[in-house]
Structure 1
Amino acid sequence: MTSEQTPDRRGEKVCDPAELRALFLFEKLTDEQLEWLCADGRIETIEPGPVFREGAAATCFYVLMDGELVLTKLSGGAEIELVRTEHRGSYAGAWMSYIGDKVEQTYESSMYATKPSRFYVLDADVFARMMHEWFPMAVHLLEGVFFGGRNINARIGERERLLALGSLSAGLTHELNNPAAAAVRATAGLRERVAGMRHKLAMITDGKFDPATLGPLVRLQEEAAAQVAKAPELTPMEAADREDTLGEWLQDHGIGDGWNLAPNFVQAGFDTDWLERVSATLEDAPEKVFEGAIRWLNYTIETELMLNEITDSTTRISSLVDAAKQYSQMDRAPFQVVDIHELLDSTLVMLSRKIGDGVRVVKQYDRALPPVPCYAAELNQVWTNLIDNAVYAMDGDGTLSIRTRRENECVVVEIGDTGPGIPPEAGNRIFEPFFTTKPMGVGTGLGLDISFRIVVNKHNGDIRVDSEPGDTTFSVWLPLHRPESNQIDTESNAEGQT
């Protein structure tokens, strides 16, 4: 390319080395280097409007000669102004092209000209070649800083994830142990009840039950088994009153330990009217036969109750395993389009033991929300960090609120707590790495920093906090639509300008 250039639709002008030397960016260059810049670059006059868009392929490096530029970045579905300047020599664009294809080369922000402005423009590949030829040592140093910093962040992030995983694994083990132990207990009890039913069956075969009453009794047994599945929910007071009534009835009818049998009948939803039907069926039977029939029915009820307990326990275990898979995104692609509520619910399940019984969880989900394009496993880490902080702030007693809504083509997830709030002096620093308000040894100061980078850098979203005593809310904004170029797992530094 020569310095004699043909004007294009943007008003390209001839480059003057002396004018470039007047800019602080180029003032230390030699005459030969300035000539090279003019030969391989160009001057463009750009009318007011967009120059490049965030997320588009970074093709040019821009230096302001005259006029005004504005840099913006998407945050929460809206463009936030980062820089507005008329300072000659300010630069933006493909300034990281010297790294080459080791990182995704896209514009990290959008740039606008607010009035007719002149720019020195250098194509990205030319800028990269210039950097490597003129400043080879500087390029190596900058690459080292860039990739070293990224690797450090990755290692720190991995350690934070491992710490969280260790804590969650302990909680999950506890949660799995409870239903597993219940299933083992119920199975052992079931074996005893089945043995008792075999004994009663032997009594029947010995002819101790009149064949005329055996049929109705079997029908009562089937009715008892079916009733267990639809037993009503009773308050402790209601259950205690019914147990007293049934216990007295059984005592009055010669069942010596009727008080021990009464809770099973009550739990299955039976009352004295049903027992009167049993009594009427065996009206002419000897007292021992009547007692045997009552115990036989009790075994039936206990068996059904234990089968229900085993079913509930195994279902709970299956649900916990499913939640763990959803949380870890095991065997799933890193980038997906998902129902954000499934991610939130799986995180709540994984954190249920840490949340504890003293914290009330209130969910206000907008079920009309569309699926969200995201890195699901990494968003689960964000929810973990925010919920863990909220629970810690409430010290085991308060209300954890989780709300979802749609605003500005974004899904907004709000996680709130009723803790004491964030101290005013810490409000502007909570997203800084290694800053924490927790005591030494309790917090690493990395949770919110990692959350910020996941939401802002990887999802082009935003994370905000509003806090006052008794009401702290973190809001996470996730765009519903993302450029294709942003669907690649990259982390790069913020746009450079002076």
Structure 2
Amino acid sequence: MDLQQFPSTLWEKVFRLSPIGATISSLDGRYIHINDVFLSWIGRSEDEVVGKTPLELGIYYHPEDRERIRNELFTAGFVHNFEVKFETKDGVVHTSLLNAKLIEDGQYILATGQDITEIKDKEKKNYELQEELRLSKDLFERIFRLNPAAVSLSDAETGRYIDVNAAYETLVGFNRNEIIGKTSLELGIWKTKIDRATLLAEVLKKGWTTGLEASINHSSGAEKHVISGNAILQMDGRPRLLAILIDITDSKNAKAFLEEAVVARTRELAETLDDLKKAQNQLIFSEKMAALGQLVAGVAHEINNPLGAISALSGEIQSHSLKIANRLMELRKIFGSLSETDLQRCCEFVSKVFVHKPITLGFSDSRKIKKKLELTFLDWGYEKAYDWADRLLDLGIHSYVGEFSDLFGNLKFKEMLDILLVELQMNRNHESIQLAVERTSKIVFSLKSYSRLDSSLGKQETDIVDTIETVLTLYNNQMRDGVKVKTSFPSRPKIKAFPDDLIQVWTNLIYNALQSMQFKGNISIELENLKDVVKVRVCDDGPGIPDEIKEKIFDPFFTTKALGEGSGLGLLIVRRSIEEKHGGEITFHSVPGKTVFCVSLPKG
């Protein structure tokens, strides 16, 4: 079998220009026909490959894979989604998702593959990022808990303590339970109110302070002298005061020693604060990348569906094209039996049905019409009346039977109509392949848009609906079986925004809704275009958010998910993006059976 046996038809173009790798080989494994995508994977020219086996070319990274593929192929007749690695002549390794089947009554092997090297790399990176996330959380906790300096975290506005470490308990003489929820003034820690007011004013002015000296009271009544470093951190949409205190009581009277200690400790404080901020930023970035990792496996299957359709339909088209000689002989015979008027009538039929959009019917209507058509064809003398009725329903052209009853009702046209319906089916296959290619392209484009995650360019003119549809495209595979999605986008407003941040926002809100419903239920996404703002509402019919945790859902590290399923940073990132980066607002309302998150974004 050589290239001359493949007519220069649309099938040949599809084979050559297909975005997936494709080969046709003999049963002993020698390549007969190869497209450019496959050649690019193995880094060789067509002349180097045709007539050789994979083992002769040495393209299998694991040679035993070829034997496993052949065993499965000759046992089942096909190979489905087999992951295999190919090696180029230069030593570059590509990972492919391989499908193969026996064709032409088992004479040849058709194989197609999708390059998933990038997806496998992202899976590996996702695992590494998950590990970094765990280490970053451990680092943050250890820096806070094990720091030899006294460290406290409090609300900058109310002054109430949120957390303290063991060194802080020792410094002030109170245990952690006595401290949390109270203010330093309530505990009598500060010597005077003026000391704390001076410190807070300085921190609020600059965002941080270091090297400030103050006197505090121990619970025993003893006076302690401390030097402090302080910083304002935005957490849960509120300013938090991080304070690090170093006890300098013993060295207070040793001026020279004190000055030396101040320099050293100040440097330590600056490094500690920098480490804490870096840990916080790393946690947020890792959360974003973790969400991307959740999608990788689903995207591989989502891409495989249209590729499977392309493979199957291409096989039908190939089989059809190889029978062209038989069809030509049939047409020659038919043309000799039909008049010019008859052929003109057949042409009129072709000109209408080939541009007609197929009509899709419900089961009940389809059954009734099929039965009626079957009886009609029986009256006309058709031996396989049911098959003809079924074909016309499948092609969606049953409505033309009445208009062309002079053709269908006369058995001399039967052979001609049979050929025309076969050609119409091939045309439908071409249309289905085009739809599958468009679907695959849309998924790849959405994945590229999602994974960019770069806001360094500043705000851009952004189509909000486009960012939402990107996320819905990537989650389509996970929602297909049990989730019904309803969208209402009366318009497509564009606003100044960070598109990558908005994609992250919709990812967190939609995925939280899916998890709350256990991937079974209804989600609605509505857009309201007002004068100055655009509102987006994400609604699900899950169990709702319990009243006792509603005030905590935006807190850092708070999560109701099982260990390893969430870091508790998702909604914190959403709030920071909407309120701090976009100047908008996020609210929610939740009762059993309905939860709605409303995001308001300014247009300017």
Shorter-chain TM-score tier: 0.5 to 0.7
Deviation at 1:329, TM superposition (A): 4.2
SS at match of 1:321: helix
Change beyond 3 A, Cα 1:250–1:141 = farther
1:264 corresponds, among 374, 377, 391, to 391
Residue 342 of structure 1 corresponds to which residue in structure 2?
466
Q: CA deviation at 1:97?
A: 8.1
1:174 equivalenced with 2:304 (yes/no): no
Structure 1 residue 156: Cα displacement = 2.4
Q: Shift of residue 346 of structure 1?
A: 0.9
CA distance in 2, matches of 1:164, 1:136: 43
* 2:511 equivalent to 1:388: yes
Which residue of the partner structure matches residue 585 of structure 2?
462
Task: State the match for 1:400 in structure 2.
Answer: 523
Aligned equivalents of 1:223, 1:370: Cα separation in 2: 42
Find out whether 1:360 has 2:484 as its counterpart. yes
Question: How far has the Cα of 1:474 moved from its partner?
Answer: 2.0
**Structure 1 position 316 matched with structure 2 position 442:** no
- Say whether residues 1:205 and 2:332 are aligned partners: yes
DSSP-derived class of the 1:249 partner: helix
| SS of aligned partner of 1:93 | helix
Contact 1:463 1:474 in 2 (8 A): yes
Q: CA deviation at 1:418?
A: 1.5
Asked if the contact 1:194–1:303 (Cα under 8 Å) also holds between the matched residues in 2, the reply is no
Q: Hey, what's the Cα distance between the residues in 2 that align with 1:195 and 1:236?
A: 35
Partner of residue 430, structure 2 = 307
Q: What's the CA shift string for 1:467-486, capped at 9, x where partnerless?
A: 221221223333434xxxxx
Secondary structure of the 1:310 match is helix
Distance verdict in 2 for CA 1:166–1:184, change over 3 Å: same
Rounded to whole Å, the distance in 1 between the matches of 2:388 and 2:273 is 73
1:290 aligned onto 2:419: no
1:216 matched to 2:216? The reply is: no
Pick the aligned partner of 2:205 from 93, 101, 104: 93
What is the RMSD of the two structures over their aligned residues, measured on CA atoms?
A: 3.4
Structure 1 pair 201/369, CA: closer, same or farther in 2 (3 Å)? same
Q: Summarize the alignment of residues 322-333 of structure 1 with structure 2, pairs less than 5 Å apart.
A: 322-329=445-452
Can you give the 5+ residue segments of structure 2 that lack an aligned partner in the other structure? 1-192, 212-231, 235-258
Counterpart-to-counterpart distance in 1, 2:531 and 2:355: 53
Q: Give the 3-state SS of the residue equivalent to 1:467 in structure 2.
A: strand
Task: Quickly say closer, same or farther: Cα 1:356–1:462, change in 2 above 3 A.
Answer: same
Counterparts in 2 of 1:262 and 1:275: CA distance versus 1, 3 Å: farther
CA drift of 1:448 comes to: 1.7
SS of 2:562 mapped into structure 1: coil
CA contact (8 A) 1:200 1:292 kept: no
Distance apart, 1:338 and its partner CA: 0.5
**C-alpha deviation, 1:344, in angstroms:** 0.9
Question: Residues 365 and 403 of structure 1 are in contact (CA less than 8 Å); yes or no, is this contact kept in structure 2?
Answer: yes
Name the CA distance, whole Å, in 1 between partners of 2:455 and 2:197. Answer: 49
Q: Residue 421 of structure 1 corresponds to which residue in structure 2? A: 544
Which SS does the other structure have where 1:437 is aligned?
Answer: coil
Cα displacement (A) at 1:461: 3.5
Mapped contact 1:434–1:445 kept (Cα < 8 A)? yes
- SS of equivalent to 1:290: helix
1:431–1:449 Cα contact (<8 Å) kept: yes
DSSP 3-state at the match of 1:473:
strand
Cα distance between partner residues in 2 of 1:246 and 1:198: 32
Identity of aligned residues (%): 26
TM score, norm. by length of structure 1: 0.64
Residue identity opposite 1:442 in structure 2:
E
CA deviations 1:141-193 (Å, max 9, x no partner) are 34323332232233323332333222212222222111111122112112333
Residues 196, 265 of structure 1: alpha-carbon distance in 2 compared, 3 angstrom cutoff: farther
Q: Is the 8 A contact 1:360 1:399 kept in 2?
A: yes
**Does the C-alpha gap of structure 1 residues 332 and 186 become closer, same or farther in structure 2, counting only changes over 3 Å?**
farther
| Partner Cα separation in structure 2 for residue 316 and residue 277 of structure 1 | 41
> Residues 369 and 219 (structure 1 numbering): CA distance in 2 closer, same or farther, change over 3 Å?
closer
Pair 1:436-2:436 in alignment: no
Matched, 1:234 2:346: no
Matches within 5 A, 1:271-282: 271=399, 272-279=401-408
Q: Secondary structure at the match of 1:414?
A: strand
Q: How does 1:36-185 map to 2 (within 5 A)?
A: 89=198, 90-91=200-201, 92-96=204-208, 135-185=262-312
AA partner of residue 315 (structure 1): E
SS class of match (1:234): coil
1:415 positional shift: 1.6
Deviations 1:355-390, CA, capped at 9 Å, x for gaps: 33433323233627441322x212211211111111
**What is the CA deviation profile of residues 38-57 of structure 1, one whole-angstrom value per residue up to 9, with x for unaligned ones?**
xxxxxxxxxxxxxxxxxxxx
Question: Retained in 2: the 8 A contact 1:193–1:302?
Answer: no
Separation in structure 1 between the aligned mates of residue 453 and residue 352 of structure 2, nearest angstrom: 45
How far off is 1:239 after superposition?
1.8
- 3-state SS of the aligned residue for 2:519? coil
Greater RCO structure (CA 8 Å; 6+ sep): 1
Check whether the contact 1:433–1:446 (CA below 8 A) recurs between aligned residues. Answer: yes
- Letter paired with 1:268: G
TM-score, with structure 2 as normaliser: 0.53
Structure 1 CA distance for aligned equivalents of residues 535 and 265 of structure 2: 42
Residue number in structure 2 paired with 1:66:
none
Shift of residue 348 of structure 1? 1.1
- Decide whether aligned partners of structure 1 residues 204 and 155 sit closer, same or farther in structure 2, where only a CA change above 3 A counts: same
Q: Is the 8 A contact 1:363 1:401 kept in 2?
A: yes
> 2:60: which partner in 1?
none
Q: Secondary structure at the match of 2:402?
A: helix
| Cα displacement string for residues 13-63 of structure 1 (whole angstroms, at most 9, x for unaligned residues) | xxxxxxxxxxxxxxxxxxxxxxxxxxxxxxxxxxxxxxxxxxxxxxxxxxx
Count matched residues.
360
